[in-house]
Every structure is written in structure tokens, then in C-alpha cells.
Structure 1
Amino acid sequence: MKIKNIILLLCFITGFNTAFANEGWINILNEGGNNKGILCTPAIQKAIEKASKNGGGTIFFPAGNYLTGPITLKSNITIYLDAGSVLKFSENFDDYLPYVEMRYEGIMMKTFSPLLYAKDAENISIKGRGVIDGQGKAWWNEVYRIESAKGPIPETKYQKMWTEQNKGIVYSPYYQRTIDKKFFRPAFFQAQNCKNILIEGVTFQNSPFWTINPVFCENINITGITIFNPHSPNTDGINPSSCKNVHISNCHISVGDDCITIKSGRDEDGRKYGIPTENVTITNCTMLSGHGGVVIGSEMSGGIKKITISNCVFDGTDRGIRIKSARGRGGVVEDIRVDNVVMKNIKEEAFMMNLFYDKNTVEEPVSERTPIFRNIHISNVTGTNVNKAGTVLGISEMPVQNISFSNINIQATEGFTLNTTDNVEFHDAKITTTLGSSFKIENSNNLILDNVASMKPIANTALIKLTDVSNMMISNNFPMFATDVFIEANGAKTKGIFLKNNVFNNVKKVINKGAALNAGAVVE
């Protein structure tokens, strides 16, 4: 009898614990949903409303195939996709009506609802080991159809709706070409003005447009996810925009545009809100296909600051670290740290800092329209099979300022190019090229090159090429391999080039002086 009572008691305790563990969990199959690939948007949204009325809960998707239209998340709601579950989104554009307010490429407008959408919510999560498939091909094909037209084509009802609902929208003239399309795809996930967001474990694939795109949000944790958007237009991976306290870790990303991009609004519209993206950590991530590994801008009109990027691998991206802006953007990018990064098979530049992203602009007085890059420091980087080690390009009224590269080892076709910079330093940098100088510096002031080298100097090619450079220290250099020319200096503005503590035993000619170089410009 005692044994029977004990067994009954254990069963009661086990049942109680199970019930307690599942309290707040809503199995979508019990709420009218199905895992046979039949559209079940109402059931999913009804389950979210039900949980919300009870103060929150978890919407559970067991293994199987699900089909839905856009989902609106609410506070204290978790979407949990079990291993083996695939949540696909409808390819019918009508399902994403009515238009909602969203930020598209840095401009607030009304357009299709994001696939996963939240506004003014907190404590929202997407978790599990399942797959979320945006089925973006239909959206991509419509973009291709519009862009490939050689002449005027009849407007769709969606384009007419966009015009009607976006009267008075403000944008810069160069953006007219994009506005003329009047077709703005939805982001996969966009949360606006939300707090405490967790996205963990799941796989996102085939996004119609940008994939993870929180806007005006705070306290975001994105960890352990996979994003796979191959051969697709503008399908960036993770794009925090005007967000604070963002943590991105342990992610694997391969997309049709930039892998991770940090933004804060475009031009006048971005400056109107004036909300920077700040306090961002990116660590332990791998990036494969993509225009850039980690990119800042070009929509950075609200400012971007206090960013760390560490322990990442870029293999096959077009660029590694890219920071881009242009006249008219405004905003300040500052306090950036990059450390412990490996790059391989980089098709363009390993590093790009470009304030001349729009080549058609002309010098203008410094104002709120003037973008600023400053206080950016990069260390402990290895790069192989790189097309170009790096480019740093400022604008005449605002040079790129206070930049350093330390312990850099890159094997590339071309080396570093600096133009219109101020206060740039290289320490312990081995830049081995197969074409041209390792360092080509023009129109720049206040530089240090400390222990720089090439592992395979090129015959009759200077390791360092200077044009119109002033106030520069070249020190602690010991070329270990036979070098024909170490420095080539030219330009009437070149002056104050100091050489100190160098050992040039393996150098045939230390300085090759150009015809325009003034006497005494280089001090040995």
C-alpha cells in the first residue's frame, strides 16, 4: 500500500511539474494552426492575442511545415520553433496589406508590413532550432521586373498605393531613382521603438529585403542564428538602425548584400530623428557571401558610436570592414574598435573608410550635412587572398581623423591607399602586395608608419609612396628582404617627413625624390 501511495505521489509531482513547465506555452496546432503548409495566419495571430491577454506566453511550433502571412508580435511574446519546423511566409503581396509605417533604407515611409513586425513592445523573442523562410524570390523578381524595364510601364496597384500614402515624404535628389520605383519590399523582421529583444538559434532564409532590422530599439540580443539569403538583391543580414545596447554573437551569415550593417537614418530624415546607434558589440561571427562583412553606413545621419567588432571571420565577402558616407548625410561615426579578425578571399578591400561614397558631390562649408569619421582603431588582423588591403578616403572639408592600424598582416594584390586624412598611424603592419606600393598616401597630414614591411618587395617599386604629405614619422623599420626603393616622395606640399631608428641594410635606395619635392622636405 505504501509503495502504491508513493507511486501515485510521484505521478502527481511529475504531472504538476510538467504542467508548470508548459504553463504559458501555446501549441499552435491546438489553436487552429496546421503543419501541412496550409495558410494559417489567423490562427497564429489569434494565439498571440490570446497569450497577450494573459500577460504573455510562448507560441510553440512543433516539427512540420507552416505557411503564414505577416505576424505582428506583442509584448512578452515568444515565437518558438522546434527542430524540424519550417515557417514559410506567403508569396502573395496582398497578404502584406495594409501598408504600415517602417524605416526603409533610412527613410520613414508607409509600405508593405514586415514579415515579423512589432511596434512599441517589449520582451519579444524568436527562439528555437527551426527555419523561418521568407520565400523572397517573388519580391526579388518584381524588383528585377521594374528595374529591367527600358521605358515606362503601367503602375501596379501597390505603386499607386505607395504614392497615395507617402505624400510629403522628404528625400535627397540622388535618391529619386529609388523613389521612382515606388516598390519597397518588406523587411523580414522589423521592430520599432521596442525594448528587450531576443533572437536566438533559428535560421532565417530567403528574406525579401533586409533580414533582422530593429529600428529605434533598445537592449537587443541576437545570438547563434544563421542567415542564408543567396544570390538576392539588398538582403542584408543584421541591420540595427538608431538602436542602443545591441549584442550580436555566434552568428553565421551569407547574404546578397552586407552581412552586418549599422545604420541610423538617411540625410534630412535621419537628422530629424537624430537618434544614433550606440553601444554595439559584434563577436564570434562568420560571414561568407556578402558585399561587406561588417559595414557602418551609408545611412548614418543620426550618428554611430561606441562599436566593438572582435573574433570574427570573413571568408568570401566583397569587403571586410567598410565604413561609408557622403556629403549631405551628416552624422558622426566615432569610437570604433576592431580586433582579432581573420579575412580570406576578399574581392575588394579588406578595409574601406569612404566619405566620398557619392562621387558627384562638391566641397561645401562644414555644417550638419557634413559626415565625420574619427577615433577608429583596428588591431590584430590577418588577411590572405585579398584584392586590396585598404582605402581611407576623406573629403576636403573633413578629412578622416584619428585612425590606427596595429599588428596587421595582409597579403593582397594592392596595398593601402590614404587620401585626405589626418592623424593616421600604422604599427607593426606587414602589407605584402603583388602590384604597387604597400602604402600610397596623398593629401594627408600627421602620420606615423612604425615597423611596416612587405614580405615580398616588388622590384623598382617603393614600399611607401607619398604625395603632398606633411608632418610624418617613419620609424623602427628593418626591411628583412632585399628592397629596391623604400620611400618615394613627391609633391610641392610634402614637408616634415622624418626618418628615425631605421635599419636600411637591405635597401638599395632609401628615398626616391620626385621633381616637385622641395629640398629639405625629408629629414633623415
Structure 2
Amino acid sequence: MKIKNIIILLFFITGLNTALANDGWLNILNEGGNNKGIKCTEAIQGAIEKASKNGGGTIFFPAGEYLTGALKLKSNITIHLDSGALLKFSENFDDYLPYVEMRYEGIVMQSFSPLFYAKDVENITIKGRGVIDGQGKAWWNEVYRIETAKGPIPETKYQKMWTEQNKGIVYEPYYKRTIDKHFFRPSFFQAYNCKNILIEGVTFKNSPFWTINPEFCDNVTVTGITINNPHSPNTDGINPSSCTNVHISNCHISVGDDCITIKSGRDADGRKYGKATENVTITNCTMLSGHGGVVIGSEMSGGIKKITISNCVFDGTDRGIRIKAARGRGGVVEDIRVDNIVMKNIKEEAIILDLFYDKDNAVEPVTERTPIFRNIHISNVTGGNVNKAGFVRGISEMPIQNISFSNINMDGKEGFTVITASDVEFHDVKVNATLGSSFKISDAKNLILDNVGSSTPIKGIPVIKIDNASNIMINNNFPFNTTDIFIEADGKETKNIFLKNNVFNNVTTTVKKGKDLDKKAIVE
């Protein structure tokens, strides 16, 4: 019986070892890798290939330090970094060759492989509690070297390769300065034409360029990650571009450019692919250093639609919510909802929708080059110590349309400005500005200002200033504090300004009329 039991036990142990060996987990230390910081790209890529041949699997990084060059992900592959694992990417540019098809700032081209690169695959995951360091300083320094040169400098082999492999590339004249550099840094993670992507838990830092950058992808989830790219150029956090069904949640981001940016291609190249970014949810995130908290554009030529942004905190970013484009971009940004946002210490605009980003070209006929912003609704926002509460500016051939601001409280230097827009509504919006009017409206029509005002009105300064605007309803306003001037209106085009259901007992001058205002423009 003892011999029989020993045989059974041996069979059990052998079967268990076989099961463990075939459970899809590959410990990188058993696959030729090392956790001593010695480069092991071949071992890591070999493990990915091995798992892929078996239908997929998890490449497991125990605690320790790893060094690698670019990695190409395959279908059904998970990169799992345990707590205490630090995966560093090489500072040698040769480790990101050969060039691959990728998208850089909205233009498809051949350039350096992204650090993590995936193309035409599905079911890819990066997860765990480890840290991934892009060691981007070498890339940043090369950009600084090229951009700050005071005269012509010899082209590197990488610039020559770019020129050889991108003949016939199409771009607008304003982008020539960027193209002329012939040096395009890789994204930290770029999945190109992939589906079912999950990035969870890990910390990314020191990205060479944009950090998480899915392009032409479907079903992307980014949750619980930290991104930290300090003092670095164009190191955006999460940039889905021409993607559908994107879910971003519970992230903490502090970067050298925009924290989260939604894009869909640049100019003619973006319109050629014609792939919108749509069905995107962003929630429960904190954004610290960065040019913008959540940004849409400016590369939005494929269109951006059906976006929700909620339950986020922006503290110390240059701007909060920013939607930007310019003539020549084309594309439609529509069906955007922003709700339940807290902003603090915003250096520029808390909210900005601007069609004059990047360049100021002459008026054009309405064509596919004309950008469109419409159906954008922002509610339940609190802002403290902001420079400007809000700025809305359309172009004359395409005013920004159907915008609403509801239940907003802002304390800052300047208020809201609306220029070249139609169908704009403010409901329950209080702006305590220290300089100028809380609301400035010009070259606009079809507006509602319902229960708006300021808790700190400035003597001699109107709360609402109107210039060459028409069809405006100002209603349900009751200034609680002593107010010198509530409305100032001027301009030959100003007409049909209706005041209804207001209580102006605390107002010295209800309407200050300018010299060019028609006598019938105000209806009380």
C-alpha cells in the first residue's frame, strides 16, 4: 500500500507541475529575463511570442528591476507587474527600430516603435501594482537640442530614415515646422487598430511623448492607474484617438501637457480615415499638473461625439475643460456632457470652447474643412481661484451652437466671455469676478441668462455686458448684494433683449445703455 500511495503521490505532483507549467503564466525570470536591471528585451519578447503560440498568457514580472527596449504585444497577452516590480525602457533610440506604422499628433506615419506597441490584435492587458518608467528624458533632450539650435545642424540617422520612409506625407502648411524636425518621439503605449484593451493599476512615469494612446481601437478600459510625467514636453496622459467605447476611471494624472485628451486625427489626414472617437466615459479622476484637465481636440478632424465627463477634480492645471479646434481641421464635436466637477487653482480658463486654436486664418466657405462644435452641456461645477471662469468663441462662418451651463459657481479673476455663438444658456450660474463683468456677450444670438449673477459685484462694472447680440432672455434674477450696474448694452446689432421676472431692488442701474444701442432694443 505504501508503494501504491507513493506512486499516486508522484502522479499527483507530476500532474500539478504540468498544470502549473501550462496555466498560461510565464515568470519572466524563468524565461531568460533578469530583475537586476540588465537589458532583457529578447527574453521578454520571446515570452510574449511563446505565450502567443499557445493561444495567449500572462507575462509575470516579480519584484525587481527590469530593462527593455520596445515590446510588441500580441493577441491574448497580459503584462502583469507585481508590487515592487520596476520595468524601465531603454534610453538607446536604436532599441525602438525598425520604424513602424503609427500615428503621431493625428498623422499616420512611419516612425519609432512605441514602447508598448500593438497592431491589429485583440485582448491585450497591462496590469498590476508595479511601476513602468519610460526614461523619457533622453527623448526630451533630443527634442530640445533640435528645437533650440540657432542654425542648421546635421541630420541624425533617425531623421534621414524618417524622410526616406515618409515620402509623400500630406500636412497643412502651419504644421511644417513640426514636420521639418523629422524627429517624432514614440508614445509610451500605442495600440493601433486593436480591440479589447485593459490597462489597470500600474504606474507610468517619464513618458517620451503621449502616455496611453490607443488609435483606431474599440473597447478600451483604463482604470486605477497613475501617470506622472514631470517637467516634460507634450507628455499627455491618456489620449484615445479615433476610438470607440472608451472607459477611463479612477486615475491620478500629473503630466507635462494635457491630462486626458480626446482626438480623432489631424486635418486632411484625419478626414481621410474619417474615424470618430465616440462613446467615451471619463469618471472619478484627479488631475494635477497639466495644460488641461480634460481636453477635446485640437486634432478632431474625424469627429468626436457622445462623451461624458463626471466626478473629477482638477487642481493646478492650466485649464479645466477645454474644447479646441481651428479652421482647416473639419470634424464635428457634439453630444458632450460634463457634470460634477471641482476645479481649484486654474491658471487660465476653467472652461474654454475655442475655434481659434493654433492659427487665425481668414474666413472660409463652409466645407469639410470647417470645424463644428454643438450640443455641449456643462453642469454642477465649482471653481476656486481660477483666472477666467469661461470662454466660448466660434468662427463667423460656424458659430458654436447649443451650449448650456447649469449650476456653476466660480471664484476668480475674470468671468464668462461668449463670442460668435448661438443658442447658449446659463442657468443658476454665479461668477464672482475681481476684474470686469461676470458675463460678457458679443456677436451672439439666442441666449438665456436665468438666475445668474455675482456675489461680489464691482462698482461701475456691469454684471452682464452685451455688445452686438440679439434675442436674449434675462430672467429670474435677484441680486442679493448691492449692485451698481446689472446690465450694460451697446452695439447697433443689439436687439430683442427681454427682461422678465427679475427683482432689482438692490440694483442702482438696471440697464446702462450705450450710445449705439437702439431705443427699442431692451424690452422690460
Q: State TM-score, norm by structure 1.
A: 0.97
**Identity level (%):** 80
User: Within 2, Cα distance between the matches of 1:193 and 1:155?
Assistant: 32
Q: What is the total number of aligned residue pairs between the two structures?
A: 522
Alignment of 1:230-309 (within 5 A): 230-309=230-309
- Compared with structure 1, are the counterparts of its residues 361 and 16 closer, same or farther at alpha carbon in structure 2 (3 Å cutoff)? same
Gaps of 5+ in 1: none
Shift, 1:15, TM fit: 8.5
Q: C-alpha displacement at 1:360, in angstroms?
A: 2.6
Q: Cα offset for 1:21?
A: 9.9
| CA displacement, residues 452-476 of structure 1 (integer Å, 9 cap, x when unaligned) | 0111111111000000010000000
Matched, 1:39 2:44: no
SS of aligned partner of 1:420: strand
Superposed CA offset, 1:399-430 (max 9, x none): 00000000000101000010000000000001
Pairing 1:352-367 to 2, within 5 Å after superposition:
352-367=352-367
Q: Which residue of 1 aligns with 2:315?
A: 315
Give the secondary structure class of the aligned counterpart of 1:237.
Answer: coil
State whether residues 73 and 116 of structure 1, in contact with CA within 8 Å, keep that contact through their aligned partners in structure 2: yes
Where does residue 189 of structure 1 map in the other structure?
189
Deviation track 1:54-86 (CA, whole Å, cap 9, x = no partner) reads 000000000000000000000000000000000
| Distance (Å, rounded) in 2 between the aligned partners of 1:21 and 1:95 | 31
Deviation (angstroms), 1:13: 9.7
Does the 8 Å CA contact 1:333/1:374 hold for their aligned counterparts?
A: yes
Counterpart secondary structure, 2:481: coil
The secondary structure found in structure 2 opposite 1:211 is coil
Q: Which amino acid aligns with 2:279?
A: N
Give the secondary structure class of the aligned counterpart of 2:123: strand
Q: Distance in 2 between matches of 1:399 and 1:198?
A: 38
SS in 1 for 2:33: coil
- Contact 1:464/1:487 (8 A) holds in 2: yes
User: Counterpart in 2 of 1:199?
Assistant: 199
Cα distance in structure 2, aligned partners of 1:381 and 1:358: 27
> What is the alpha-carbon distance in structure 1 between the residues aligned to residue 15 and residue 143 of structure 2?
54
Hey, what's the Cα distance between the residues in 2 that align with 1:366 and 1:476?
A: 38
Listed as ranges, the gaps of 5+ residues in structure 2 are none
Q: Give the Cα–Cα distance (whole angstroms) in 1 for the partners of residues 359 and 134 of structure 2.
A: 35
Q: CA deviation at 1:358?
A: 3.3
Residue 489 of structure 2 aligns with which residue? 489
Over the residues paired in the alignment, what is the CA RMSD in angstroms?
1.9
1:149 and 1:16 map into 2 onto residues whose CA distance is 63
Shift of 1:20: 5.4
Residue 300 of structure 1 aligns to a residue in which SS? coil
Task: State the alpha-carbon separation in 2 of the partners of residues 494 and 107 from structure 1.
Answer: 43
Pairing 1:445-484 to 2, within 5 Å after superposition: 445-484=445-484
One-letter amino acid matched to 1:133: D
Kindly indicate whether residue 403 of structure 2 is the aligned counterpart of residue 418 of structure 1.
no
Which residue does 1:75 correspond to in 2? 75
Instruction: Give the whole-Å Cα distance in 2 for the aligned partners of 1:21 and 1:417.
Output: 64
Q: What is the CA–CA distance in structure 2 between the aligned matches of 1:360 and 1:244, rounded to whole Å?
A: 31
CA distance in 2, matches of 1:33, 1:195: 29
Residue 19 of structure 1: how far off its partner (Å): 4.4
Moved more, 53-62 or 349-358: 349-358
Given the two structures, how large is their TM-score scaled by the length of structure 2?
0.97
1:359 positional shift? 3.6
Structure-1 residue corresponding to 2:380 = 380
Q: What do the CA deviations read for 1:355-408 (whole angstroms, capped 9, x no partner)?
A: 111343010100000000000000000000100001000000000000000000
Partner secondary structure for residue 458 of structure 1? coil
Contact 1:327 / 1:358 at 8 angstroms: preserved in 2?
A: no
Matched, 1:222 2:222: yes
Residue in 2 aligned with 1:97? 97
**Pair 1:127-2:144 in alignment:** no
Give the 4+ runs in structure 1 shifted more than 3 A: 11-22
- Give the distance between the partners of 1:177 and 1:391, measured in 2 at CA: 28
**Contact 1:187–1:210 at 8 Å: present in 2 too?**
yes
1:39-63 Cα offsets, whole Å, 9 max, x none, are 0000000000000000000000000
Match of 1:508 in 2: 508
Deviations, residues 245-299 of structure 1 (Å, cap 9, x unaligned): 0000000000000000000000000000000000000000000000000000000
* Change beyond 3 A, Cα 1:228–1:175: same
What's the CA shift string for 1:76-114, capped at 9, x where partnerless? 000000000000000001111111111000000111100
Per the alignment, residue 141 of structure 1 pairs with 141
Question: CA–CA distance in 2 between the matches of 1:130 and 1:460?
Answer: 58
Deviation at 1:213, TM superposition (A): 0.3
